[in-house]
Structure 1
Amino acid sequence: MANPNGVVAQAVVAQQTFASDPKYKKYTQQVEKFHQRALDVYSHILAVLGVTGLRPVMKSFILALLPGLEEETGEFFERVISLLDRLSGTVSPSFFFQNIWLIMSTTPSARGTALNLLSRRLPQLHGLEDITSIVGSDIGLMISAFAAALEDENLLVQRSALDLLLQSMRVDSSAVKQAQSEDRSILMRAAISVVLQRDLSLNRRLYSWLLGPGKKSEKQIEYLKDNALELLRSTLKEDMLSPSGEYSESRPFKIFISLLDKWEIGAALSEVLIYDSKLWNRISIGDDFSVLYSKKSLAVTDEIRCIPYIIV
Structure 2
Amino acid sequence: MRLTVLVPGGSGQLGRDLAALASPSVEVVAPGSAELDLTQTGQVLASVGALAERARESGSVPVVVNAAAYTAVDAAETDEERAFAVNADGPRVLAAACASRRVPLIHVSTDYVFPGDGSAPYEPSDELGPRSAYGRTKAAGEDAVLGSGASSWVVRTGWLYGKTGTNFVKTMARLESTHDVLSVVDDQVGGPTWTADLAAGLLELASRAAAGDGPERRILHCTNAGAVSWCGFAKAIFGHLGADPARVKPCTTAEFPRPAARPAYSVLSPASWREAWLTPMRPWEEALAAYFAADR
- In the superposition, the TM-score normalised over structure 1's length comes to 0.27
- In the superposition, the TM-score normalised over structure 2's length comes to 0.28
Question: Relative to total residues, which structure has the larger helix share, 1 or 2?
Answer: 1
Q: Which has the higher contact order (CA 8 A, sep 6+)?
A: 2
Question: Relative to total residues, which structure has the larger strand share, 1 or 2?
Answer: 2
Larger radius of gyration: 1
